[in-house]
Amino acid sequence: MKEKEDKAGGDGSMEERILACAERLFLNKGYNLTSMTEIAREAGCTQALVHYYFRTKENLFSKIFEGKFHLFIDCIVRKEDENLPFEEIVAVRTSRLFDLMAANRRLPFVFLSEFIINPDQRFSLKDNIVSLCAEATSRLETMIAAEVEGGRIRPVGTMDITLNMFSLVVTFFIVLPFLEEMGFVTDANRDEFIEQRRQEILKTLIGGLRP
């Protein structure tokens, strides 16, 4: 009876609860070590109800994975940033990506493992990513050309800037757990260390653009 009530009257809240619990488990344990039974237990519902909403674990993971990847892409394609000076655009987008990684520290590991282990994830997202980025990339290339012509930055490609941004930020958050385990980063200095690293990344990116 309770399950029927959940389906009929609480669809939004129960579906969101299942998604939230599944996301937490997938990020902490990875896809293979997370079961539908465990997701149901965390969400406080039956496994049948999880299947009712999402059918399979693969569908549930794909929904979460794609949502997170869209957040990832959103960090570097927001049109409202384009009213800012060029260096500030780079700083704002890099800092936004940094904040996303800081709030989802397991995210780089999930992305890397799933892209390597599950090529279907790459293929399913490819067309969506291309369409999301194409217009923003075109606008950014126009801005870069103007900055280069004005002598404010060196000749550089949009892809170079984007890859530098991603590699510097994501690599830091991949390495961070090892730094913590080795004792270089502790509870006492973690916030200061992370913020200092943000500033160093920004200096590296922006300094590398100047002629």
Q: Which two tokens stand for residue 9?
A: 């009257």
Is residue 57 scored above 70 in pLDDT? yes
Kindly report the average pLDDT of the chain as a whole number.
84
pLDDT category at 99 given cuts 50, 70, 90 is very high
Task: Specify the residue for token string 């519902």.
Answer: 45
pLDDT for 8 equals 38
What residues contact 102, with CB distance under 8 A and at least 6 apart?
Answer: 173, 194
| 8 A C-beta contact, residue 22 and residue 64 | yes
Could you give the percent of the chain with pLDDT greater than 90?
49
Radius of gyration of the chain (CA): 20
Residue 124: C-alpha distances to residues 71, 104, 116, 133, 143 (Å): 16, 22, 14, 16, 31
When pLDDT is averaged across residues 60-76 and rounded to a whole number, the result is 80
How many whole angstroms separate alpha carbon 17 and alpha carbon 21?
Answer: 6
pLDDT tens string 133-155: 676 677 788 889 999 999 999 99
| 8 A C-beta contact, residue 127 and residue 184 | no
pLDDT category at 26 given cuts 50, 70, 90 is confident
Is residue 10 scored above 50 in pLDDT? no
What residues contact 132, with CB distance under 8 A and at least 6 apart?
Answer: 70, 73, 77
pLDDT for 90 equals 92
Is residue 178 scored above 70 in pLDDT? yes
Query: Which pTM does this prediction carry?
Result: 0.76
pLDDT: which is higher, 84 or 125: 84
Is residue 65 scored above 70 in pLDDT? yes
Q: Which two tokens stand for residue 163?
A: 């890859």
How many whole angstroms separate alpha carbon 48 and alpha carbon 4?
Answer: 11
pLDDT tens string 113-123: 666 666 666 66
Residue 132: C-alpha distances to residues 1, 77, 147, 196 (Å): 43, 8, 24, 31
pLDDT for 133 equals 66
Is residue 86 scored above 50 in pLDDT? yes
Task: Specify the residue for token string 């994975």.
Answer: 65
Give the residue among 74, 64, 89, 95 at the shortest CA–CA distance from 169. 95
| 8 A C-beta contact, residue 132 and residue 188 | no
| 8 A C-beta contact, residue 107 and residue 101 | yes
| 8 A C-beta contact, residue 73 and residue 165 | no
On the CB side of 119, CA atoms within 13 Å amount to 0
